[in-house]
Amino acid sequence: MRYLVDESRKLNLVAEFLNRTDLVGCFSQDIPSIVPLPQLWRKNSRSPSGSPRPFNDISLRWKQHFPAMMDWINIFDDIDQLMTLDRGFTEDEKHLAETTGCWMEPTMVRLLAIRPLSKGSESENIMEEVCRLGTMLFLAPIWRWLGASPVWTFTLTRNLLSVLNSQMIEWGELKPLLVWSVYFASLETRDPRERSHLAFILAVLMNGLQFREWDELMQVVKSVLWTERIFANSDNSLRHEVMSILRLPGTGDVTPVLEDLEDEEA
């Protein structure tokens, strides 16, 4: 019996190694994982039964606007709940992340699996795709903090910019999700041209929202999803860059895509 138990554990470790290897590669390329999710990962991805759901205003707004589009928002709600319970930031979770897998791995698998743009090119599909990418960019630094390596996000930032450049839509009262997604893309990108482009988009969004202080923008970002432990003081260089752009005359006249974004804000 002990031999069977030991063999079972060995098989589980092999399966977890294969899943981790597959997930790292799929995440870096932004493609769905092809390896079945281990049962233990499924278990770790869920909050304790009966635990209360935190109130999140942006989640409520999404469901009011798109009651039939629940793929991304269900994942977002799970992340919000797990973070509220502080499961993402304990030593136990770090140990799980380094050994058998914590809530982060199955959450990434779920985000890679949904493909909003395969269902259509309507405004809601575009919004969901931006939010899917933004959520992975938000989670990437947390995943690194939990011990994952490497966590490459260059494809995610490139894909987000591609969507924003090719699809101009009205976000209305869901605009905090756009601000949040662009903010974390700005933090994650290592490409100077991408960084400048994303910083300019943030400046245009601030101008459209009639924000004159950086703290006003950060209030919007933090109202969506935020953890001070990971992101405290992460915005210093970005703040300087965005505020410098805001002080330039003719901010909205630099590129066609940013002209369109500014027109949307008017």
User: How many domains are contained in the chain?
Assistant: 1
Q: State which residues form the domain around 141.
A: 2-45+55-265
50 part of a folded domain: no
Query: What average pLDDT values come out for the chain (266 residues) when binned by 10 residues?
Result: 40 52 90 80 66 84 97 93 67 54 83 96 97 98 88 97 93 97 97 96 94 96 93 91 85 43 46
213 part of a folded domain: yes
Long-range CB contacts for residues 188-197, cutoff 8 Å, separation at least 24: 188/137, 188/140, 188/141, 188/153, 188/156, 188/157, 189/153, 189/154, 189/157, 190/154, 191/154, 191/157, 191/158, 194/157, 194/158, 194/161, 195/241, 196/241, 197/161
Sign of CA dihedral 21, 24, 25, 26: positive
17 part of a folded domain: yes
165 part of a folded domain: yes
- What pLDDT sits at residue 197? 96
- What pLDDT sits at residue 20? 72
pTM: 0.84
- What pLDDT sits at residue 16? 55
Backbone angles phi, psi at 135, to 5 degrees: -65, -40
- What pLDDT sits at residue 86? 58
Give a three-class secondary structure readout of 200-241. HHHHHHHHHCCCCCHHHHHHHHHHHCCCHHHHCCCCHHHHHH
